[in-house]
Amino acid sequence: MKNTLLIGLLAGASLLSIASCSNPDYKRQDEVAVEPLPPLPPEPDTTGGKTAPENPATREINAVNATEDIKKMQPQM
């Protein structure tokens, strides 16, 4: 009994979703904005011209930085 109820509900839901997707009264307009958006204004400088200190936790991970880190970990002879 539960299986047939579940199948019936599933079939009804799929029928409703299919019926709602194909509305003949809805007219599609394929026209989109033809003008490009204006450029964004530059972000205000809130640091007062100061640069942020080097933080190894937020540094970009790439081959150059990884090589530098490995060289720092090597014992000095």
Structure tokens at 32: 């989109």
For 54-76, write each residue's pLDDT tens digit: 777 778 889 998 898 889 888 87
pTM (predicted TM-score): 0.28
Structure tokens at 57: 């936790």
Which of 69, 48, 74 minimizes the C-alpha distance to 57?
A: 69
Interior CA angle at 9 toward 7 and 3, to 5°?
35
Give residue for tokens 């047939």. Answer: 4
Average pLDDT across the chain, whole number: 76
